[in-house]
Structure 1
Amino acid sequence: MKCLKYILALLIFCLAFFANAQTATITGVILDERKVPLSNVNISSGRTGTFSDANGFYLLEIVADEKTTITFSHLGHKSVILKDLILITNETYEFNPIMKVDAIQIDGITVTPTGRKSVEGIAVIAPQELRKIPGANAGVENILKLLPGVSSNNELSTQYSVRGGNYDENLVYINEIEVYRPFLVRSAQQEGLSFVNSDMAKDVSFSPGGFQAKYGDKLSSVLDITYKNPVNFGAQLDLSLLGASAVVETVSKNKNFTSISGVRYRNNSLLVNSQQTNANFNPVFADVQSYMTYRFSKKFQLGFLGNISLNDYQNEPLNRQTNFGTLNDPRALVVFYQGRENNAYNTQLAALKGDYFLNEKVNLKLISSIYHNTEEEYSDVVAQYELGEIDTNLGSETLGEVTSSRGLGSQINRARNDLDALILNISHKGNYAHNERALEWGVKYTHEDIRDQLRESEFIDSAGFSVRPPFPEFNNNEPGEPFTAPLVPFEGINSRNFVKTNRFSGFIQFSDRKAWNGNDIYYNIGIRSQHWTVSGTNVAKTSHTIFSPRAQLAIKPNWEKDMLFRISGGIYQQPPFYRELRDSLGIVRPEVKAQKSLHLVVGNEYSFTLWNRPFTLIGEGYYKKLDNVNPYTLEDVRIRYRANNSAKAYVYGGELRMSGAFVPGTESWVSIGYLKTEENINDRGYISRPTDQRLKLGVLFQDYIPDIPNLRMYLNLVYNTGVPGGSPSYADPYVFQNRLRDYKRADLGISHIFVNGDKTYPKDHWLYSFKELSVGFEVFNLFNNQNSITNTWVRDVDSKQQFAVPNFMTARVLNLRLSMGF
């Protein structure tokens, strides 16, 4: 009996052994038409199946020594079917399919098992376009500024406003990791590089409003970037007169480890020296960025994002002459400078992201990051100015020079600003997807530790006497009373703040896709919440809590015409960050509440064929009702808040964008937008907000010579009506409602492509080792328009009138560019 038990046990063991041995493995990486890894692809064979991970990697065990059919399916793509595959026992077969877009896919709408991009108007931007489009700040922000709802009248800045919001109201994510920006930047020419390295980007998505609950607590927009997960070794090198960049992609032999790393250097001297201020300018902008992924198993992978950015801005202004006024009354401002400014903005970011695929339906994520930012602004600049009339006589030897003075004076600016910011984040996200339904959730803890020392002063001397602030204690009643007031700066700030903020936030959202009377319906509903506490030295501990419900609905009717209608909205709230808590005197106000916006967006997408080529027409209308508004002033790219909730506001507008193959084989678009935004401060009535842009026209056009198809032209055109130009110091904004001149700009790029994916060479050719090679030139501000970003206010000593002298941006600039890939 005992022997029989041993025989049965041995028999069962042998059966199990041979059953396990009679299997084979098929593995690989699934790519789309752009050779980008495709996630969430369903791989099925009979009763067994799996999904590709975020890197497009999959692994499936099948029965060996018999015919097997394997199907690769993904919503929005044509299925790939591998028929009658026979693998021997223990064989590992590598198959890397390329999935093509399904002909019935809605242009610009990708329906995935998680519901992403199915219910809101997200603009999907091809990363290769980011690298081709010319611009003074080439990259993601450069192409965003061509969208109808995005505004920027400063080509030196990577900052942008969306649908009436300001620069602080935009979310930026890289691989689901939130990105922060420097705080103290006051002039756009101090900005060197965007945080986003466009050479490393795989997917670029942008939502100008009405976004889902899974995104954070901001009022205006979301820029969602996904960096590449390489599938083989590669390298990219770009050289130009503005700087250089290099990107390297690596993959381990077993494909478990991938990395993409980039190094960039930029020097803005070429651009800044085209402005009207002559200066000794020595900027150094550089950064190193890397994203690495290690796959421990097919269920767990770990990603790391690291970034070190160094921005050292040194400027010694020398002189400036700005001609302004009218033909009948031309004027000039001549300024001579002494002194220098030295600003440094250094940031470091390290983040870990763990993905655990519990099964094909559940994905769990843990993300942690640490962001450290140190900033210094040290400057001592003396400006002696002369305001006068200029000689307009064409035959005169002094044509364009000042002939008589209307105002003489000097101005001394001094700054000793130091900021140290440490931001820690840890969050958990998860999603459950089954068929067309998806449930997503997340919780996050954020700790912000800000150490800020703000010391600024501005002394103004006009007609031989120091101008004091217009306060009662400086009233001058001489000679009846002696004037004994102290000598103080016209504007001065001296504060030291140590502030800590702890934030707890979370969200949950549900999305589904249904069919109703032959129509496809997509919807998403969700809610966010955040609780935060502000404390610090001489800061009363204060807590706040907010809730933000959001929803999106899209309907694709069963019509012959390919149309999609959508509506989205909700209550969007933005808890104050440190800069919003600090008022114009540098005092921290912890009682500041979150700004709140009731947001509604309606839109339509129509895909059609014109001239036998595909086109899409996208139209949207939006309305925002804002409460608890924190008023601010805008000086160049510097935002100064009042740190109170003393205003209410509204924004409304409409947009149209037509994109398609205006020229066969290329993608171009034309966009037009209109918006109006006004605010009511302390119930004094509505006036224009600093971002009241009104009319916006953007054109992105690509072309080539038919006989020389590799000679390409890229052109972007932007026209914005002028925004409010601000007001002098201490002036009532309700009195000064003048506007800057309209912003008009054209950037042209022409390049010859020697090698790319469509044009390769045999092994014996010297170009064989290149995967990409192009040489070209760019002309920034093609028509040499004089655009202005702000006004300098100068006092006329005779009439005491103040004149708004425009600060002009860059003139026409030529740049050469060389790009190569290996």
Structure 2
Amino acid sequence: MYLLRFAFIVLPALVWSQTATIKGIILDDAHLPIDNVNIKVGDIGTNSNTNGFYELKIPAHSEVTVAFTHILYKRVIVKFNLKNGQVVEFNPVMSLNIEQIATVVINSNQRQSVTGVTIIAPELLRTIKGAQPGVENILKTLPGVNISNELSTQYSVRGGNFDENLVYVNDIEVYRPFLVRSGQQEGLSFVNTDLVQNIDFSAGGFQAKYGDKLSSVLDITYKTPIKFGVNADLSLLGGSISAEAVSKDSKFSGIIGVRYRDNGLILNSLETEGIVKPVFADAQTYLTYKFTDKFQVNFLGNISSNKYTFEPQNRQTNFGTIADPKALLVYYEGQEKDAYNTYFGAFKANYFASEDLTLKLVASTYHTTEEEYFDILAQYRLGEVNTNIGDENLGEVEFSEGIGSQLTHARNDLDAMITTVEHKGDYKMDDNTLEWSIKYTHEDIRDRLVEWEVIDSAGFSINPPNLDVFKDQPYQTYQGPLVAFQNVRATNYVKIERFQAYAQWSKRSELGTNEVFYNLGVRAHHWTVNGDGIESNSQTVFSPRAQFAIKPDWDKDMLFRVAGGLYYQPPFYRELRDSSGTVKPEVQAQKSIHLVLGNEYSFKMWDRPFKLVSEAYYKHMTDVNPYTLENVRIRYRANNNAKAYAYGLDLRLNGEFVPGTESWFSFGYLKTEENIENRGYIARPTDQRLKFGVLFQDYVPNIPELKVYLNLVYNTGVPGGSPSYANPYDYQNRLRDYKRADVGFSYAIVDGDRTYTSNWKNAFKELTIGVEVFNMFDVQNSITNTWVRDVYSKRQSAVPNYLSPRVFNVRLSMKF
């Protein structure tokens, strides 16, 4: 009897001790925090503070109803079904109306979108780092997004190139460096993951409020702090620290982050040996000051310094087949010094004129100074490898098939200043939303390009490929002048004035018993190119866009979506400059017609939430500006003599494959081809046919503090295995498939949901130690080929330039 009584008393307590946490900020329609909101579940409750922040423990492993109530606002009723220890951020928006709104059911930290936007949980960025940590490390696991260089943050989307992606931070467009040739020199991603609150990504068919690019939009929102906190992260590749705070009167709040990155651990593992010093650092801040409840000012600032110094010494690359193994031996002299310094500042004023009308004014300036200096002499031997087992010279080159040298030189300087002023506004009336913008941009580019390359094979200088004179040495004497294999010299001073505007209308309503969403919008873009020695040229384009989504009143949770429009990409400076360095102001905007059909199916499996997202898309492109792609450097032909198309299918299944964690599996099929000067269709440089991506999280059931993540990507090879000077119609060689798996293990020494008796542990809110293995299976991926001539056959051999091998990293993360 006593045992039975004990069970009745203790077991409910044990069940109740299984808890989860919901927390967040409660906002009104003007996005201002609401204090003294009553949050209640059963007999447990709490109130939001003066900053609108709340935190509440709720029972786990059961459906509970949470009520958010305030005397002046609509009541919000939310149902949660969370796992033990799960933390979900829920930020309700309460309206000034006493009517009760419909119940919202939340089973995970994903929110459904009708606009075709993929929403990524910020916690994933801070948990899954990778060789190049940042939002791009997560994007590469999504269907339709391709990254084939782990040292770079550049990505291509659905057949587009690296220049066709928009990036916004808090409504402010940000820019990337211009002169980057490979990921080794690139540095840090602009987005500081420690500062991120929301991440939205669209791979096509996006709304008119987003700018004029052809491929994708990455829309980032930085935090508005609600309390003091410090985060720090240390690893063998560098570290970061961020701090956030809010004033006592809640008028002023700010967050600042500093990052340092040294890629020496990865670069020193490459085949090319030498002295390498890649040092990248930046500091960012986002500040908010609330003058009144209706008027506030934000400031976003960034200072970035990227320095890359390299003194190569030697390289040996083994390739070929088992029957015919070959090796390339290279001995170097000289060095490379690159520097990219960027400064970015933006003010945004927000005026909440009423509950329905919001007006914004944004002013920003981006300044970049970039230098690429190198003089490198490479002397090479291409030969057959000794394969005799037991021979003391096993693996060495014994018979030379190619001997030569290559001297490369560059003195490239670029100074760019981009200034922008923009007015934005939105007005809500019932279920309708009207948004508009007027934007002016001034781009001032000062560019000096000096590059030349001399190639010598078997003692004889090689003429450039476009020279009609053929050398047949040593059999015939060559009488012509000696010229460099490549020689580019140009100095450009270019100014571009841009005027942009958009207006769009959105509405959520019902069609019978079905929920529907409409969006119609149009953009206008006028630009003028002028400069020293450049004949001024002006152009104007209009871009209409539309979206429609319907959620049928079915037993199955389905959402259908269609989006399309006419998208233009007015040329930026790099698209105006051809391979000789000449600026052509008459280059037109590339044009693309988008059609996207999507479906989202939400369901339960194993009593846990899952979602299958499917999208089929087609793009028809005209006035295409062809380009060559070498590593991550793009060089345009600066004309519009091509047309192209792209179509494909993207699938992603995400959900709680392991209770309390989010994972996904993705698949993408893509085909994109271009027709240059009506010579016929050939594969574009970004024709990545098949893509598989996996982001998987797990933990030890009996030790939930011990977690593991797997970041796996498989991409079929893209065209790009040909020489950079080659005619694309003569070379359609593809690089080998890209296969990479990164895995990370972490153990939470201190968890914010537990209490500790040790004094030193109480000093931390969170403390985690981890080990990461990059390229776990040590796959030899390549990003380009080096082409070396055979002395005897005069053929060229493609020698792969391999990316990083397996690398181990140790990480320590802490929160105060």
Match of 2:783 in 1: 789
Structure 1 residue identity aligned to 2:765: K
Counterparts of 2:384 and 2:318 in 1: how far apart (Å)? 9
Match of 1:286 in 2: 281
1:374 maps to 2:369: yes
Counterparts of 2:344 and 2:22 in 1: how far apart (Å)? 30
Counterparts of 1:193 and 1:202 in 2: how far apart (Å)? 19
Structure 2 residue identity aligned to 1:310: S
Q: Is the 8 A contact 1:605 1:617 kept in 2?
A: yes
Offset at residue 483 of structure 1 (A): 4.6
Counterparts of 1:562 and 1:472 in 2: how far apart (Å)? 64
Q: Is the 8 A contact 1:52 1:58 kept in 2?
A: no
- Change in CA separation of 1:480 and 1:726 when aligned onto 2, cut-off 3 Å: closer
Q: Secondary structure at the match of 1:130?
A: helix
Match of 1:342 in 2: 337
- Change in CA separation of 1:274 and 1:38 when aligned onto 2, cut-off 3 Å: farther
Counterparts of 2:196 and 2:151 in 1: how far apart (Å)? 22
Give the greater-gyration-radius structure (CA): 1
Offset at residue 395 of structure 1 (A): 2.2
Structure 1 residue identity aligned to 2:754: K
Counterparts of 1:510 and 1:33 in 2: how far apart (Å)? 37
Q: Is the 8 A contact 2:611 2:653 kept in 1?
A: yes
Counterparts of 1:809 and 1:58 in 2: how far apart (Å)? 53
Q: Deviations over 1:703-760 (max 9, x none)?
A: 1111101000011110000011242254221111111111000001000012234334
Counterparts of 1:326 and 1:104 in 2: how far apart (Å)? 58
* 1:81 equivalent among 47, 69, 75: 69
* 2:653 equivalent among 623, 639, 658: 658
Offset at residue 138 of structure 1 (A): 1.1
Q: Deviations over 1:50-102 (max 9, x none)?
A: x542xx35699xxxxxxxxx999xxxx975124799xxxxxxxxxx9975995
Q: Is the 8 A contact 2:243 2:257 kept in 1?
A: yes
Q: Is the 8 A contact 2:447 2:493 kept in 1?
A: yes
Q: Where do 1:324-335 residues align within 5 Å? A: 324-335=319-330
Q: Secondary structure at the match of 1:662?
A: coil
1:195 maps to 2:190: yes
Match of 1:623 in 2: 618
RMSD: 2.3
Q: Secondary structure at the match of 2:516?
A: strand
Q: Is the 8 A contact 1:323 1:331 kept in 2?
A: yes
Q: Is the 8 A contact 2:630 2:724 kept in 1?
A: no
Counterparts of 1:231 and 1:516 in 2: how far apart (Å)? 40
Q: Secondary structure at the match of 1:526?
A: strand
Counterparts of 1:367 and 1:460 in 2: how far apart (Å)? 51
Q: Is the 8 A contact 1:494 1:585 kept in 2?
A: yes
- Change in CA separation of 1:109 and 1:239 when aligned onto 2, cut-off 3 Å: closer
Q: Secondary structure at the match of 1:141?
A: helix
Counterparts of 1:483 and 1:405 in 2: how far apart (Å)? 25
Q: How much identity, in percent, do the aligned residues show?
A: 60
* 2:25 equivalent among 31, 37, 61: 37
1:754 maps to 2:749: yes
Counterparts of 2:468 and 2:216 in 1: how far apart (Å)? 45
- Change in CA separation of 1:98 and 1:791 when aligned onto 2, cut-off 3 Å: closer
Which sections of structure 1, spanning at least 5 residues, go unmatched?
A: 1-31, 43-50, 61-69, 86-95, 112-116
Match of 1:241 in 2: 236
Offset at residue 349 of structure 1 (A): 0.1
Match of 1:29 in 2: none
1:446 maps to 2:421: no
Match of 2:815 in 1: 821
Q: Is the 8 A contact 1:782 1:812 kept in 2?
A: yes
Offset at residue 253 of structure 1 (A): 0.9
1:357 maps to 2:345: no
Q: Secondary structure at the match of 1:663?
A: coil
Counterparts of 2:190 and 2:755 in 1: how far apart (Å)? 33
Q: Secondary structure at the match of 2:761?
A: coil
Match of 2:512 in 1: 517
Q: Is the 8 A contact 2:111 2:119 kept in 1?
A: no
Counterparts of 2:665 and 2:416 in 1: how far apart (Å)? 41
Match of 1:122 in 2: 117
- Change in CA separation of 1:34 and 1:216 when aligned onto 2, cut-off 3 Å: farther
* 2:551 equivalent among 539, 543, 556: 556
* 1:775 equivalent among 769, 779, 783: 769
* 1:430 equivalent among 405, 417, 425: 425
- Change in CA separation of 1:491 and 1:38 when aligned onto 2, cut-off 3 Å: farther
Structure 2 residue identity aligned to 1:689: R
Match of 1:276 in 2: 271
Match of 2:214 in 1: 219
- Deviating more after overlay: 438-447 vs 385-394: 385-394
1:689 maps to 2:677: no
1:392 maps to 2:387: yes
Q: Is the 8 A contact 2:23 2:90 kept in 1?
A: no
Offset at residue 34 of structure 1 (A): 6.2
Q: Secondary structure at the match of 1:513?
A: strand
Counterparts of 1:398 and 1:732 in 2: how far apart (Å)? 40
Q: Secondary structure at the match of 2:339?
A: strand
Offset at residue 134 of structure 1 (A): 3.5
Q: Secondary structure at the match of 1:767?
A: helix
Counterparts of 1:738 and 1:749 in 2: how far apart (Å)? 35
Structure 2 residue identity aligned to 1:703: D
1:183 maps to 2:178: yes
Offset at residue 283 of structure 1 (A): 1.6
Structure 1 residue identity aligned to 2:762: Y
Structure 1 residue identity aligned to 2:329: V
Which sections of structure 2, spanning at least 5 residues, go unmatched?
A: 1-19, 38-46, 53-64, 74-88, 94-101
Counterparts of 2:548 and 2:206 in 1: how far apart (Å)? 11
Q: Where do 1:695-710 residues align within 5 Å? A: 695-710=690-705
Counterparts of 1:803 and 1:300 in 2: how far apart (Å)? 65
1:712 maps to 2:700: no
Offset at residue 387 of structure 1 (A): 0.5
Q: Where do 1:385-784 residues align within 5 Å? A: 385-472=380-467, 474-476=469-471, 483-761=478-756, 765-784=759-778
Counterparts of 2:597 and 2:711 in 1: how far apart (Å)? 27
Match of 2:126 in 1: 131
Structure 2 residue identity aligned to 1:819: S
Q: Deviations over 1:139-159 (max 9, x none)?
A: 100000000110011000001
Structure 2 residue identity aligned to 1:533: T
Q: Is the 8 A contact 1:426 1:444 kept in 2?
A: yes
- Change in CA separation of 1:312 and 1:158 when aligned onto 2, cut-off 3 Å: same
Counterparts of 2:108 and 2:564 in 1: how far apart (Å)? 22
Structure 2 residue identity aligned to 1:773: L
1:809 maps to 2:803: yes
Offset at residue 423 of structure 1 (A): 0.2
Offset at residue 604 of structure 1 (A): 0.5
Counterparts of 1:812 and 1:331 in 2: how far apart (Å)? 23
- Change in CA separation of 1:99 and 1:512 when aligned onto 2, cut-off 3 Å: closer
Q: Is the 8 A contact 1:390 1:404 kept in 2?
A: yes
- Change in CA separation of 1:107 and 1:210 when aligned onto 2, cut-off 3 Å: farther
Counterparts of 1:81 and 1:787 in 2: how far apart (Å)? 56
- Change in CA separation of 1:478 and 1:659 when aligned onto 2, cut-off 3 Å: closer
Structure 2 residue identity aligned to 1:564: L
Match of 1:65 in 2: none
Q: Secondary structure at the match of 1:766?
A: helix
Offset at residue 476 of structure 1 (A): 4.9
Q: Secondary structure at the match of 2:762?
A: coil
Counterparts of 1:58 and 1:692 in 2: how far apart (Å)? 53
Counterparts of 1:572 and 1:548 in 2: how far apart (Å)? 6
Match of 2:137 in 1: 142
Offset at residue 797 of structure 1 (A): 1.2
Structure 1 residue identity aligned to 2:263: N
Structure 1 residue identity aligned to 2:224: N
Q: Where do 1:41-190 residues align within 5 Å? A: 41=28, 51-53=30-32, 56=33, 80-82=68-70, 99=92, 103-104=104-105, 117=113, 119-190=114-185
Counterparts of 1:97 and 1:785 in 2: how far apart (Å)? 41
Counterparts of 2:338 and 2:571 in 1: how far apart (Å)? 26
